[in-house]
Chain A
Amino acid sequence: MDILSGLMHGFAVALEPANLLWCFVGVVLGTVVGVMPGLGPPATIAMLLPLTFLMNPAGAMIMLAGIYYGAKYGGSTTSILLNVPGESASVVTCLDGYAMARKGRAGAALGIAAIASFVAGTVGVIGLMLVAPPLAKVALAFSAPEYFSLMALGLAMVVLLAGRSMLKALLAMLVGLWISGIGTDPFSTTSRFTFGQLELLSGIDFVVVAIGVFALGEVLACMEGRGESGSLPVPKGLRNLLPTLQDLKDCRFAFVQGSVLGFLIGVLPGAGSTIASFISYGVEKAVSRRPEEFGKGAVEGVAAPEGANNSETGGALVPLLTLGIPGSGTTAVLLAALVLWGFKPGPLFISENPNLFWGLVASMYIGNVMLLVLNLPLVPLFAQVLRTPGYVLYPVILGISIVGVYSVSGSLFDVSLVVAFGVLGYLMRKLDYPAAPLILGLVLGGGMERALRQSLMMSQGDLAILATRPICAAMLALAVLILLIPLFNKLNAWRLQVLE
């Protein structure tokens, strides 16, 4: 079936009233799940699986996928408003999103996040539709060494996330890397840094650290009395609550690169949307004409990662649907769902189930439009949250954070961990250590360790494997170049000084 007739057919499936309804239910549920910190799409989809057996598979798949990409829209909301990352992929959004909110531009940040999500979500579907099978083959060229260098590239972004002091940023990153090593050694299954605590065997969940350091740390810092009144400025009038034309112009490049990068990283089964959002943020800052604005409320700093984490969804469906290979928690549940419905996901899945595939693709176009229409009117409403005085807002943030963490694992141990990380986040703020490098190290540490050790197992301990594989070597070279950026900037500043 060629693409055009496939798509026409797909729209015929997706526009059936029942399927349209399921699409709507999925994206609404997804938005809700995304807004709530903690409870994520994999758990939600798994809980809803029994219901899907009463539905036809196309409708069920459309709904579950709706939850998946809908959650990416909602994830930014609490990041921007409360500095509480709703999803792991929305951590980077906290940096500039929350800074914008503090300046009274929460509405613009939320609006840009929704628009970036829409653009990227659509780009992701187009990618899934046009290049899925050939791209899946390319993705197979990636193995452990390539994943290692991709993550090294991500880690090099630390130089772009650093505040005033590079040394402090590097220290924070190292602590993040160390935290990622706590738990069970992935290869020998021996335990590391667990101090005999069973709860630490599975490692420290990234959400616990992110919520602790960002949300709790922020609340503690704000309680110091600096904000007696506490409430943040929210401009009156609808026009002042939405992104301006200038904002959209500033984000042109971010929309494009976030979408494309997010999709490409999504296709790789071993990467994930959190890495996509970090890399996209780094790229945006690296090419920006005003990098000094990042972290202080640059609108591109919201658009790039929010775009990347949305188009990643389309990308992640590529290996799932074309090879039967899941790359993330959510796609693993979707795979299980397909199997339980009686399908055989694998290389022949698309050609044998064109109705399901094209119906899904078409529904994703529709779903993204629904999400934009749903989310934009919510922007002014959500922005009002910030009018709440501090003595109400901060306890609410504390509550949301703790319930969110508890809902992931149901473990009180994690709740005490989040408090401990809250204190760490507060101390880091006081001592002017940036939090983002810590999170970056934590996100990448586990995968990077695995990939490096797998590479060395492949090469029998020979590090040359990292230099002799072309894709791997190219990405490592790029990482080195990024590490040189601050040096280059210093040289440039010195040159200007001399010229004057």
Chain B
Amino acid sequence: MKLRIVSAAAALAALGGLHLPAQGQGFKPSRTVEAVVHTGPGGGSDVLARAVALMMEKEKLLPVRMQVVNKPGGNGAVAAAYLAEKKGDQNTIGFFTGVWLTGPLTSAEAKVTLRDLTPIARLVLEPAVIAVKADAPYKSLQDFVAAAKKSPGQLKQSGGSVTSRDNIVRQLLQKHTGAQWAYISFPGGGERIAALLGGHVNMMVIEPAEAGEHIRAGNMRVLAQVTEKRLSGFPNVPTLKEAGFDIPAVPQVRGVVAPPGIPKENVAYWEDVFQKLTKTASWQKFLADNQFEDGYQDAVGLTKFYDEFTGRMRGILQEAGVKLVR
């Protein structure tokens, strides 16, 4: 990992003729930084951006304030288009998630993709766990899959839209095992949990921190974790591989981009700021509290990640029968 950062930094230095580590080399945001997110207040990206804004202030990483701007709609398309319009604007950044990559695959109107914006850094990978209601008969993911095989299409999973990570995990599991179960989309995270707790669906893919409280209260049981390594909060729950399902653990990814057409030194500045942020104690605490994984990657690494992630998602969505336009 360290080696990769060093080599990527070296490559960037060669490209831009900069001396690294970049220390802001002259560029500094001149007024309040706009941080664009694609969810309304309270959504995942919104909360992350506000938390980052607070930490920036607390750790004095930015000379100016950071203000969150909500541009919801179209699975990230509206926010991406807004950033594209701000071409060359030096005081705007955006917080992206995986849907900024998968959204344009299914929506013809989403003309701006992440490739059209300036990559800055990947910040976090959010792992997930597979949970059932505490009184459900399934003690392991094997139990659930066996039950799904016995009555195909009868068991149900609640989750987000068809391009969300929840459905990707389901598609991978179904393909791997041959079992079939129904997928019911709920736009709001709260509704998904309510559907599981109310016994209207049998299973869901949920973020560890969200599941944690329901497990502690004895309402939920976790069957497996969608991770490569066991999370510290769930030392006794097997990962997908350990549970006998050899499928990739798809993380929810979050990171930072800038509008197109900004100078290289600005990219270096932002990379530096976010790298410093990820080293702070407040950031480490934030990751631990939410059970996120540190997913820091610089601009070069992020660009590679785009291609790999988009390619993989395209394959999975195609197999799931989702109509793709790109």
Q: Does A46 contact B (CB under 8 A)?
A: yes
- CB contact between A202 and one of B73, B198, B289 (< 8 Å): that residue: B73
Selected A-B contacts with CB under 8 Å, 21 pairs: A53-B54, A144-B184, A144-B200, A186-B161, A186-B187, A187-B185, A188-B106, A188-B323, A189-B161, A198-B78, A198-B111, A201-B107, A201-B110, A202-B73, A269-B194, A319-B194, A323-B197, A336-B41, A336-B50, A339-B47, A346-B213
- CB contact between A190 and one of B53, B57, B323 (< 8 Å): that residue: B323
Q: Give CA–CA (A45, B186) in the complex, Å.
A: 25
Query: A residues near B, CB below 8 A?
Result: 42-43, 45-46, 49-50, 53, 139-144, 183-184, 186-191, 194, 196-199, 201-203, 269-270, 319, 323-327, 329, 331-336, 339-340, 342, 344-349, 410, 450, 454, 457-458, 460
Judging by beta carbons under 8 Å apart, are A46 and B51 in contact?
A: no
Q: Does B70 contact A (CB under 8 A)?
A: yes
Judging by beta carbons under 8 Å apart, are B42 and A329 in contact?
A: yes
- CB contact between A50 and one of B57, B74, B162 (< 8 Å): that residue: B57
Q: Does B149 contact A (CB under 8 A)?
A: no
Neighbouring A residues of B188 by C-beta, 8 Å: 269-270, 326-327, 332
Given contacts A184-B73, A346-B214, 8 further A-B contacts (CB under 8 A): A50-B57, A139-B194, A144-B195, A188-B322, A198-B77, A323-B193, A326-B188, A333-B41
* A139, A184, A194, A335 pick with most chain B CB within 10 angstroms: A184
Judging by beta carbons under 8 Å apart, are A345 and B182 in contact?
A: no
- CB contact between A43 and one of B41, B103, B193 (< 8 Å): that residue: B41
Number of A-B residue pairs with CB-CB distance less than 8 Å in the complex they form: 173
Q: Give CA–CA (A262, B216) in the complex, Å.
A: 32
Q: How far is the CB of B51 from chain A (nearest CB, A)?
A: 6
Give chain B interface residues in 1-57, CB to chain A under 8 Å.
Answer: 40-43, 46-47, 50-51, 53-54, 57
Judging by beta carbons under 8 Å apart, are A336 and B46 in contact?
A: yes
Judging by beta carbons under 8 Å apart, are A190 and B41 in contact?
A: no
Judging by beta carbons under 8 Å apart, are B73 and A270 in contact?
A: no
Q: Give CA–CA (A410, B209) in the complex, Å.
A: 33
* Interface mask (B196-232 → A, CB under 8 Å = 1, otherwise 0): 0111110000000110111011010000000000000
A202/B74 contact (C-beta < 8 A), A141-B198, A188-B162 known:
yes
Q: Give CA–CA (A132, B50) in the complex, Å.
A: 30
* B-side interface size class: 35 or more
Judging by beta carbons under 8 Å apart, are B182 and A458 in contact?
A: yes
Q: Does B246 contact A (CB under 8 A)?
A: no
Judging by beta carbons under 8 Å apart, are A194 and B213 in contact?
A: no
A203/B42 contact (C-beta < 8 A), A197-B109, A336-B47, A342-B289 known:
no
Q: Give CA–CA (A321, B198) in the complex, Å.
A: 17
Judging by beta carbons under 8 Å apart, are A347 and B78 in contact?
A: no
Q: Give CA–CA (A496, B63) in the complex, Å.
A: 79
Q: Give CA–CA (A149, B200) in the complex, Å.
A: 16
Judging by beta carbons under 8 Å apart, are B107 and A189 in contact?
A: yes
Judging by beta carbons under 8 Å apart, are B109 and A143 in contact?
A: no
* Interface mask (B54-71 → A, CB under 8 Å = 1, otherwise 0): 100100000000001110
Judging by beta carbons under 8 Å apart, are A325 and B194 in contact?
A: yes
* Interface mask (B124-147 → A, CB under 8 Å = 1, otherwise 0): 000000000000000000000000
Q: How far is the CB of B53 from chain A (nearest CB, A)?
A: 7
Q: Give CA–CA (A336, B189) in the complex, Å.
A: 12
Q: How far is the CB of B65 from chain A (nearest CB, A)?
A: 9
Q: How far is the CB of A273 from chain B (nearest CB, A)?
A: 15
Judging by beta carbons under 8 Å apart, are B74 and A201 in contact?
A: yes
Q: Does B118 contact A (CB under 8 A)?
A: no
- Give me the 9 closest cross-chain CB pairs, A-B, nearest first: A202-B73, A346-B213, A332-B42, A201-B74, A347-B217, A140-B198, A46-B41, A143-B200, A325-B190
Neighbouring B residues of A454 by C-beta, 8 Å: 184-186
A46/B42 contact (C-beta < 8 A), A184-B75, A457-B182 known:
yes
Neighbouring B residues of A336 by C-beta, 8 Å: 41-42, 46-47, 50
Q: How far is the CB of A443 from chain B (nearest CB, A)?
A: 16
Q: Give CA–CA (A334, B199) in the complex, Å.
A: 26
Q: Give CA–CA (A199, B234) in the complex, Å.
A: 43
Judging by beta carbons under 8 Å apart, are B54 and A340 in contact?
A: yes
Neighbouring B residues of A198 by C-beta, 8 Å: 74, 77-78, 81, 109-111
B163, closest chain A residue (CB): A189
Judging by beta carbons under 8 Å apart, are B195 and A46 in contact?
A: no
